[in-house]
A and B are shown apart, each in its own frame.
Chain A
Amino acid sequence: MLWLKDVWVVDPSQKLSSPQSVLVKEGKILAISSSMSDEEVQFKAQGEAIETINGQGKFLFPGLIDVHTHLREPGQEDKEDILSGSRAAVRGGFTTILAMANTQPVIDKRALAEFVRLQGERAGYAHVLPIGTVTKGMQGEELVEMADMKEGGVVAFSDDGKNIQNSEVMRLALEYVKLTGLPIISHCEDKYLAGDGLMRRGTASGRMGLKGIPASAESVIVARDLILTEETGGKLHLAHISTAESVELIRRAKARGVNVTAEVNPHHLIFCDEDIHLTDTALKVNPPLASQEDRAALIEGLQDGTIDMIATDHAPHTQAEKARPFAEAPFGIASLETALSAVYQYLVLTGKLSWERVIEAWSHSPAKRFGLKGGTLKPGTSADMVLFDPGYKEVIEPSNLVSKARNTPFLGKTLQGFPVMVWVEGRLVQRNRMLL
């Protein structure tokens, strides 16, 4: 039995944010209590050996759930694979990750979804749950066999990486998905407005001569998808929201009762377009880093619940691909190993977001929306947990990253506040930043 003593538990699912003692037995949370005597613990152990961890000065929270990761397997294992990606996940504090479907081949059949799930089980780190595509071949035309794919374990459908430009296909998807009860995850991008743009259109793009992507490229599709969701009664989740207009559209739709949730990526909360330098492709990402006003609206939207969750959009690429002139480098930031620390340092320590809200948005909210286990430390649930040391500092270097990718804007920088112990179903998988 494991006894975590005097640890500050943050578990929004139980409205907890206070010092507690936590007992874990047989892979499950046995008890949480602010007053627990030695005798009580002895009694609960029922003769089993007790491993005691002094949690003073540290936080314990539910293992984080990331609903947006690109693990690149099958097909692009030079960027990442399910093993390396799920190792990166638990190093970063994530015990459940949803794998996006835009692999090669794309996950548009049950057999492929089962492969992803199995590879996750074989890896044996985080729970890896597959997302299926919405359309066959991600062509934006014919729907996949949604019911069969759900049987195969998919927890959502998304053509992420591309937008379904044909509004009728999107409408049909939102209708048909009702058979499954699962959400459609929409990557909102009007391909004509986005064109071959490289960063957010604004004075920074104008100055550098990089082709701009207007904010409307996202927001017009957000508006469309909200209208279609309202009309069909489908279930919609909006990926990587990045503009103030989108936040406002979602706020109004939620007030009308539209069945929608939304996520925001850490990099959109931390950086803005003015931070981009011409030779720094680590910040080349889609949707592009937005304006300071957008960033403020995203933070506000996340804090007030308009935006439901944080998700990394972990997008690993090889060094050779990113070591190119800005226009030629691929979009994406690899972030599983740095996201939580970066959010803690840049947003929680600076008072822009509450720590409780961050944990809620990264554990309980995604669990609720996607119908997943985890996201809570309620007694009886699986012990997916993170022990977080707010004082732990680490230089982000290639030598300590376990992801195959290095495309992080924090490379060479020091971050503070890291998971120092991570358990999946009560099994310790990371200790002192090393994988077990």
Chain B
Amino acid sequence: MKLQRKDVLGLEEMDVEEIRQILQTAKVMKGILMRPIKKLPTLKGKSVVNLFYEASTRTRTSFEMAAKVLGADTTSIAVAQSSVSKGESLYDTAKTIQAMRADLVILRHSSSGSASFLADILDAGVINAGDGQHEHPTQALLDIFTMEEKLGDLEGKNVVIVGDVLHSRVARSNAWGLRKLGVNVTLVGPPTLAPAEMGGLGVKLTHDLDSVLPGADVVMALRLQLERQKSGLFPSLREYSHLYGLTTERLKKTGKQSVVMHPGPMNRGVEISDEVADSAQALIERQVTNGVAIRMALIYLLIGGSANVVA
């Protein structure tokens, strides 16, 4: 079954059945990925364009690999986004891609809403690989997939997401997706990085990490953009790490063998200690593997047609 949509732009607009269908398909894809020879003819002749306005080797590579395993042809366009007023506009680039008759475009862009903007112009499908601070649906889906793999049904589970939630598309997508699956989500960060307006996501918001750790099944640390310190959003890495850094000691407060996640790349010693990052609790490498499976599932569900990969 294909998804009844042209694009995957965010989890806010996705319903729970669609999310389950994607997770189910990703399970099959992961099985394929674990085979010694991982190459399928499923999407032979289909073309996938990776359009990346922000450098992100890990996300781009993950999408490329996913497309290649499924047998699609991939092209990568890396656009240096030095200034919005310089160079070709996204509108013109979209027109060019339209003329190339690509089947699917993967977009990473620094502007919130850019993926919807592109999807409105293109006949081809669009997968949002991160648009500004808005959404990063494939990251959230791979996070959810990883949590389910480890914890089973997520309904009623407690997930704490800690860090710079204001500027985080990962936090937003996870909040939407997890909420739909019945998870209790808590966003944590200093008031400057987890301000009241984040209440619009309909999840719990707090500034005190230690008070929400008891009972947490999952603790996810977000990457801290170090340049936020210069804008005055937090005073020092030292204090940030002291209040919000994940350490072995702090994680004991959950009272259970909690799962630790991080979307990467990590600032070791800032939001997560070396010891935690390398512990058995941390599923960070598994997240990377699952990322390929999730992206395979999405590409297949959007442009796979009737070809039956599951057989």
Contact = CB atoms under 8 A, between A and B. Distances in A.
Interface of A: 201-212, 278-279, 320, 323-328
B197 A327 contact: no
Given A327-B84, A328-B84, A202 B117 contact: no
Of listed B113, B117, B169, residue having the most chain A CB within 10 A: B113
Contact of A278 (B134, B169, B172, B200): B134
B113 A325 contact: yes
Given A209-B167, A210-B134, A279-B120, 17 more contacts: A201-B197, A203-B200, A206-B195, A206-B198, A207-B172, A207-B201, A208-B134, A209-B131, A209-B133, A209-B134, A209-B169, A210-B112, A212-B197, A278-B113, A325-B90, A325-B132, A328-B90
Contact of A208 (B110, B112, B114): B112
Contacts of A279: 113, 116-117, 120
Interface string B38-57: 00000000000000000000
B112 A203 contact: no
Nearest to A323: B91
5 contacts: A203-B200, A206-B199, A209-B112, A209-B135, A328-B84
Contact of A324 (B90, B120, B135): B90
Contacts of A203: 197, 199-200
A327 B111 contact: yes
Given A326-B111, A326-B112, A326-B113, A202 B90 contact: no
Nearest to B94: A323
B89 interface: yes
Given A209-B172, A327-B84, A327-B132, A320 B197 contact: no
Contact of B91 (A205, A208, A212, A324): A324
A207 B201 CA distance: 6
B207 interface: no
A209 B12 CA distance: 12
B96 to A, nearest CB: 15
Contacts of B84: 324, 327-328
A209 B200 CA distance: 11
Contacts of A323: 89, 91
Given A208-B113, A208-B134, A279-B116, A324 B197 contact: no
Contact of A320 (B91, B113, B134, B199): B91
B109 interface: yes
Interface of B: 12, 84, 89-91, 109-114, 116-117, 120, 131-135, 166-167, 169, 172, 195, 197-201
B139 to A, nearest CB: 14
A205 B111 contact: no
A222 B117 CA distance: 36
Of listed A208, A278, A323, A324, residue having the most chain B CB within 10 A: A278
A208 B111 CA distance: 11
B200 A207 contact: yes
A204 B199 CA distance: 9
A204 B91 contact: no
Contacts of A328: 84, 89-90, 111
A323 B167 CA distance: 24
Given A278-B134, A279-B120, A325-B90, A204 B200 contact: yes
Contacts of B198: 206
A209 B91 CA distance: 21
B91 A327 contact: no
A237 B32 CA distance: 69
A208 B115 CA distance: 13
A320 B92 CA distance: 10
B200 A206 contact: yes
Contacts of B110: 327
B175 to A, nearest CB: 10
Contacts of B117: 278-279, 324-326
Of listed A201, A204, A320, A327, residue having the most chain B CB within 10 A: A327
Contacts of B167: 209
A212 B166 CA distance: 10
Contacts of B201: 206-207
A99 B250 CA distance: 62
A323 B95 CA distance: 12
A324 B199 contact: no
Nearest to A328: B84
A278 B116 CA distance: 8
Given A210-B112, A279-B113, A323-B91, A205 B169 contact: no
Contacts of A205: 197, 200
B116 A324 contact: no
A209 B198 CA distance: 9
A324 B109 CA distance: 12
A325 B134 CA distance: 12
A243 to B, nearest CB: 16
A278 B89 CA distance: 17
B132 A202 contact: no
A201 B172 CA distance: 16
Contacts of A324: 84, 89-91, 117
A327 B109 CA distance: 11
B197 A209 contact: no
A325 B200 contact: no
Contacts of A327: 84, 110-113, 132
Contacts of B111: 325-328
A326 B132 CA distance: 10
Contacts of A206: 166, 195, 197-201
Contacts of B132: 209-210, 325, 327
